[in-house]
Amino acid sequence: MRTQSAPWRAAAVLASVLLVGGVAACGNSDTGGGGTKDDGKITMGFSQVGAESGWRTANTTSIKEAATAAGIELKFDDAQQKQENQIKAIRNYIQQKVDVIAFSPVVESGWDTVLKEAKDADIPVILTDRSVDSADKSLYKTFLGSDFVKEGKLAGEWLVEQKKTASGPVNIVELQGNTGAAPANDRKKGFGEAIAANPNLKIIASQPGDFTRAGGKQVMEQFLKANKKIDVLFAHNDDMGLGALEAITAAGKVPGKDITIITVDAVKDGMQALADGKFNFIAECSPLLGPQLMDLAKKVHAGEEVPTRIETEETTFTTEQAKEALPNRKY
Ligand code: AHR
């Protein structure tokens, strides 16, 4: 549990040595000192976005397992996709004087006040999975996670290659993540930039499906009702793509054939759909951030410098690659 940050602890130890030495020299044997006891165990307060997707479940498991393995005491809160719950959890962690706060921000904006409160309390903050748009980068130590723009770009580039001989319009519908979330903003941006290379590729409808299967299904039903010709679906995650599969099948269309489906994440269920030919391409987003997060927590707690940005290593999958990777897929 946190009592003081590393440099302060070092100063306190030195001060108490000097004090004890001074007192002993005066012939007083009282070495009580009066400081608070530090049991040496790091406590991390973690605020998770929610449990909206297979990715999120795998991410939560990774964090919990890694904390146990690293001997870090984890205080965990599920914010149920609500920013106000995350702010409340962070304020609780500040009150509890945890050693490190880590969180995956549900949306990008609106964090400056609470991050300033953590900074004033001398509690380091690590952003994991998603970042914030704060101009003051001193409000957090580092951001560990994916490059979401790159994921969108990889998805778009694959489509450009597939449709390079298309002579007429290719109608694309897009299922976005929750409004204001970094992966929703960035994947949209990366995908849009990549498909601009071919003017035949047009996004004819784009709506949030909140990263959930139910959201993906419901919005895809609306897309199918409102648009006669849909050639491609770009879903910002596997779960929305999996929900959309149900809507597509119910509408009498064959997913992966009548409608090309591109998603992001590469969780097992998504990879199975890709291996089965129901999805056509996935840009990977790794949820296994726990071990790196715990390592960073130890470093920032010890007062060590850490890189301000740590990018997760990721790849992409076609149907053939999914078939090969599935037997060893961890999440
Ligand atoms: O922030 C990562 C995204 O959040 C994942 O791609 C999505 O599945 C999750 O809900």
Q: Is 52 in the pocket of ligand 1 (CB under 6 A)?
A: yes
Distance (Å, whole) CA 105 – CA 107: 5
Residue 329: predicted pLDDT: 95
Residue 22: predicted pLDDT: 33
Q: Is 183 in the pocket of ligand 1 (CB under 6 A)?
A: yes
How many of the other CB atoms lie within 10 Å of CB of 181? Answer: 24
Instruction: Report yes or no: 79 and 47 within 8 Å, Cβ to Cβ.
Output: yes
Task: Convert the pLDDT of each residue in 200-211 to its tens digit.
Answer: 999 999 999 999
Residue closest by Cα to atom 3 of ligand 1: 183
Residue 1: predicted pLDDT: 52
Q: How far is the CA of 124 from the centre of ligand 1 (A)?
A: 24
Distance (Å, whole) CA 162 – CA 204: 19
Task: Convert the pLDDT of each residue in 281-309 to its tens digit.
Answer: 999 999 999 999 999 999 999 999 999 99
> Which atom of ligand 1 is nearest to 239's Cα?
8
Distance (Å, whole) CA 326 – CA 331: 10
In the chain, % of residues over pLDDT 90? 88
DSSP 8-state code for residue 237: S
> Which atom of ligand 1 is nearest to 54's Cα?
8
Task: Convert the pLDDT of each residue in 144-174 to its tens digit.
Answer: 999 999 999 999 999 999 999 999 999 999 9
Mean pLDDT of 90-106: 98
**Which residue do the tokens 């049991």 mark?**
39
Residue 40: predicted pLDDT: 80
Residue 26: predicted pLDDT: 30
At residue 316, the 3 state secondary structure works out as strand
Q: Is 265 in the pocket of ligand 1 (CB under 6 A)?
A: yes
Q: Is 131 in the pocket of ligand 1 (CB under 6 A)?
A: no
Q: How far is the CA of 56 from the centre of ligand 1 (A)?
A: 6
> In 213-318, which ranges are continuous DSSP H helix?
213-226, 238-250, 268-275, 290-301
Q: Is residue 202 within a helix (H) or strand (E), and if so which, with residue range?
A: strand 201-208
Q: How far is the CA of 86 from the centre of ligand 1 (A)?
A: 16
| Cα–Cα distance list, 100 to 93, 119, 168, 244, 308 (Å) | 9, 11, 54, 39, 16
Task: Convert the pLDDT of each residue in 120-130 to its tens digit.
Answer: 999 999 999 99
| Structure tokens given for 283 | 């840009």
Is the predicted pLDDT of residue 4 greater than 90, yes or no? no
> Which atom of ligand 1 is nearest to 50's Cα?
10
Tell me the torsion sign for CA atoms 284, 234, 206, 191. positive
How many of the other CB atoms lie within 10 Å of CB of 204? Answer: 17
Tell me the torsion sign for CA atoms 100, 104, 106, 110. positive
Is the predicted pLDDT of residue 31 greater than 90, yes or no? no
Q: How far is the CA of 287 from the centre of ligand 1 (A)?
A: 8
Q: Is 264 in the pocket of ligand 1 (CB under 6 A)?
A: yes
* Residue whose C-alpha is closest to residue 126's, from 172, 74, 170: 74
Three-state SS sequence of 91-134: HHHHHCCCCEEEECCCCCCCCHHHHHHHHHCCCCEEEECCCCCC
Q: Is 237 in the pocket of ligand 1 (CB under 6 A)?
A: yes
Distance (Å, whole) CA 154 – CA 158: 6
Q: How far is the CA of 177 from the centre of ligand 1 (A)?
A: 8
Q: Is 285 in the pocket of ligand 1 (CB under 6 A)?
A: yes
Is the predicted pLDDT of residue 114 greater than 50, yes or no? yes
- The mean of the pLDDT values for the chain is 91
Cα torsion 185, 206, 323, 327 to 10°: value is 50
Q: How far is the CA of 264 from the centre of ligand 1 (A)?
A: 8
| Residue 69 CB partners (closer than 8 Å, separation 6+) | 291, 294
Is the predicted pLDDT of residue 15 greater than 60, yes or no? no
